């Protein structure tokens, strides 16, 4: 039996109607969700400030007053005296690596505070109390930045989620000459790739117990403490291809307080550190079995380490 033409036409109309409804209700939402607003900053300009490329804002702080959670702030070459807090969802882009310098206006405060889903890219941040403060549970990205000459930590990361979706990502950046650690982090999810963490007055990087991290192709060199300081308890840390060189304590210091964890050292170089390549420190009554979670792969090299490659268990009470 043949289907009547009227029924076929009705089916076609229903399909077309469904497609039109999809276009009306869904496509505008997708367009809105993916669109971002551009704001421009140029400290050398004068006159009207509207945030356009022709009439940019003159300070980053002024631009951030007009930013919402889908704003990209583009900053022209120059030095900006400022202390800024980046609102949720805002990204700041420098004109080129090393071209945009944010110097603390008030050196007793953090230079840059970052909220959730924010990014800084190609900025130099200097001469504050800390260079960058990352708020609790904030997912952020720091890309191709230089963070230097701050009185305390270069980057200070508050505690938060260890889920992969909530990671603090630091890539292709230089963190140097800071008065304490280059990077200090409470319990968080961290990704560090291809950074130079060098010449800081304490440890290059210091991560709290419970940290989940991927650390690859970084240089932890010439720091006054250890190159990298980790806490074993409840941590899950994978490292690969890192260089630990010329640190005044050890290349890597692993502290244990009694809880189990996992730290894997793979394809790394420990060269000319003043104490050990890897120091194992038990703080309190720690079972010897805990140290089974520390794995040093055979492709790791040790050269000219002053005291030894890997320490015996150093008991500290």
% of the chain residues with pLDDT over 90? 86
Question: For the domain that residue 259 is a member of, what is the CATH number?
Answer: 2.160.20.10
The 3-state secondary structure of the chain reads CCCCHHHHHHHHHHHHHHHHHHHHHCHHHHHHHHCCEEEEECCCCCCCCCCCCCCCECCHHHHHHCCCCCEEEEECCEEEECCEEECCCCEEEECCCCCEEEECCCCCCCCEEECCCEEEECCEEECCCCCEEECCCCCEEEECCEEECCCCCCEEECCCCCCHHHCEEEECCEEECCCCCCEEECCCEEEEECCEEECCCCCCEEECCCCEEEEECCEEECCCCCCEEEECCCCEEEEECCEEECCCCCCEEEEECCCCCEEEEECCEEECCCCEEEEEEEECCCCHHHHHHEEECCCCEEECCCCEEEEEEEEEC
Q: Is residue 56 part of a domain?
A: no
Do 170 and 293 share a structural domain?
A: yes
Q: Is residue 176 part of a domain?
A: yes
Predicted confidence (pLDDT) per residue in 195-238, tens digit: 999 999 999 999 999 999 999 999 999 999 999 999 999 999 99
Q: Is residue 112 part of a domain?
A: yes
**Segments forming the whole domain that contains residue 16:** 1-35
Predicted confidence (pLDDT) per residue in 13-24, tens digit: 555 555 444 444
**What is the pLDDT at residue 21?**
46
Tally of domains in the chain: 2
Predicted confidence (pLDDT) per residue in 82-128, tens digit: 999 999 999 999 999 999 999 999 999 999 999 999 999 999 999 99
Do 103 and 23 share a structural domain?
A: no
Predicted confidence (pLDDT) per residue in 34-44, tens digit: 589 999 999 99
Do 127 and 21 share a structural domain?
A: no
Do 277 and 158 share a structural domain?
A: yes
Do 196 and 310 share a structural domain?
A: yes
Q: Is residue 218 part of a domain?
A: yes
Mean pLDDT of the chain: 91
Please, which residues bridge with residue 39 across strands?
Answer: 73
**What is the pLDDT at residue 31?**
44
**What is the pLDDT at residue 3?**
47
Do 282 and 181 share a structural domain?
A: yes
Q: Is residue 83 part of a domain?
A: no
Do 9 and 97 share a structural domain?
A: no
Do 96 and 27 share a structural domain?
A: no
């Amino acid at each position: 039996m043949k289907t009547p033409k009227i029924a076929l036409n009705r089916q076609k109309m229903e399909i077309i109607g469904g497609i039109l409804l999809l276009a009306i209700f869904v496509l505008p939402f997708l367009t809105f969700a993916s669109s971002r607003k551009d704001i421009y900053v140029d400290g050398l300009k004068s006159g009207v400030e509207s945030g356009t490329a022709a009439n940019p804002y003159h300070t980053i702080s002024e631009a951030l007053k007009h930013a919402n959670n889908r704003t990209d702030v583009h900053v022209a070459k120059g030095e900006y005296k400022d202390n800024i807090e980046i609102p949720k969802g805002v990204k700041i882009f420098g004109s080129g690596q090393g071209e945009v310098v944010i110097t603390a206006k008030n050196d007793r405060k953090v230079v840059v505070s970052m909220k959730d889903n924010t990014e800084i890219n190609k900025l130099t941040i200097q001469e504050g109390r800390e260079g960058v403060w990352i708020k609790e549970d904030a997912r952020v990205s720091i890309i191709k930045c230089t963070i230097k000459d701050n009185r305390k930590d270069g980057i200070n990361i508050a505690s938060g989620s260890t889920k992969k979706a909530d990671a603090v990502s630091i890539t292709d950046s230089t963190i140097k000459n800071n008065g304490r650690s280059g990077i200090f982090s409470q319990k968080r999810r961290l990704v560090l790739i291809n950074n130079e963490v060098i010449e800081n007055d304490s440890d290059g990087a210091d991560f709290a117990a419970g940290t989940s991290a991927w650390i690859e192709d970084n240089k932890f060199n010439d720091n006054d403490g250890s190159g990298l300081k980790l806490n074993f308890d409840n941590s899950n840390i994978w490292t690969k291809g890192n260089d630990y060189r010329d640190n005044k304590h050890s290349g890597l210091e692993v502290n244990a307080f009694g809880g189990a964890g996992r730290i894997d050292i793979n394809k790394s170089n420990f060269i000319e550190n003043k104490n050990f390549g890897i120091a194992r420190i038990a703080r309190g009554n720690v079972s010897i079995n805990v140290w089974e979670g520390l794995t040093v792969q055979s492709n790791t090299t040790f050269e000219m380490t002053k005291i030894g490659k890997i320490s015996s268990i150093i008991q500290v009470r």
